[in-house]
């Protein structure tokens, strides 16, 4: 069984080509790969990501993996996925659950799929979120993930909406780890 669900895996070749073009336009991430790739500073990081699944996000995903992280991904928006980018990420062996035009039910399903166990059988320990849906699901349904040796240790949030959700969680005294507003 494949550990991904995308609209059409045959779009991967086009996705790889467009990601290569995007890499040339993202020198900061390429510099990180070059400078830190050998030292693997993210080894042991298990990142659950829920950002727009675009070619630019694919560059970020590949960079995180190049730096040693394990990754599982879903999109943060039912209409923003670039299907060729999602196919290329799946073709690279990275679990991704995203396609353009997901229903609300499929969107939720994709988030839950990316929360399934990583290859080492463990849960995520870092969250990259856009909109706060991933964080909200984990907070509501998996509060045990905030405790113990294998706990989630931090998250980043991209949107004002997601940040407002985090402020409320913090105000209620229920934000158990650092959160970075990016």
Closest CA to 120 of 40, 65, 45: 45
Question: Does residue 3 belong to any structural domain of this protein?
Answer: no
Question: Does residue 110 belong to any structural domain of this protein?
Answer: yes
pLDDT of residue 2: 76
Number of folded domains in the chain?
1
Number of neighbouring beta carbons within 10 Å of residue 72: 23
Question: Which position has the token pair 């990275």?
Answer: 94
Across the strands, what pairs with 129?
50, 157
pLDDT of residue 1: 53
Please give the chain's pLDDT, 182 residues, in tens: 579 999 999 999 999 999 999 999 999 999 999 999 999 999 999 999 999 999 999 999 999 999 999 999 999 999 999 999 999 999 999 999 999 999 999 999 999 998 887 877 889 999 999 999 999 999 999 999 999 988 999 999 999 999 999 999 999 999 999 999 99
Question: Does residue 47 belong to any structural domain of this protein?
Answer: yes
Question: Does residue 60 belong to any structural domain of this protein?
Answer: yes
Question: Does residue 59 belong to any structural domain of this protein?
Answer: yes
User: Got the DSSP string for 147-158?
Assistant: SSTT---EEEE-
The CATH number linked to 144 is: 3.40.50.1480
Look up the domain containing 22 and give its range. Answer: 9-181
**Count of helices and strands (H, E) across the chain:** 7, 6
- DSSP at 5: B
């Amino acid at each position: 069984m494949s550990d991904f669900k995308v609209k059409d895996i045959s779009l991967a070749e086009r996705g790889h080509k467009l990601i290569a073009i995007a890499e040339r336009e993202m020198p900061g991430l390429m510099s990180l790969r070059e400078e830190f790739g050998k030292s693997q500073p993210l080894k042991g990081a298990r990142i659950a990501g829920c950002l727009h699944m675009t070619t630019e996000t694919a560059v970020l995903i590949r960079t995180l993996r190049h730096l040693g992280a394990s990754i599982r991904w879903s999109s943060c928006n039912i209409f923003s996925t670039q299907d060729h980018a999602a196919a290329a990420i799946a073709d690279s062996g990275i679990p991704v659950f995203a396609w353009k035009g997901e229903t609300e039910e499929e969107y939720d399903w994709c988030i839950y799929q990316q929360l399934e166990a990583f290859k080492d059988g463990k849960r995520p320990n870092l969250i990259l979120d856009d909109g706060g849906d991933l964080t909200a699901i984990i907070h509501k349904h998996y509060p045990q993930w905030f405790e113990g040796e294998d706990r989630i240790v931090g998250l980043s949030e991209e949107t004002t909406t997601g940040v407002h959700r985090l402020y409320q969680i913090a105000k209620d005294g229920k934000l158990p780890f650092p959160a970075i507003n990016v």
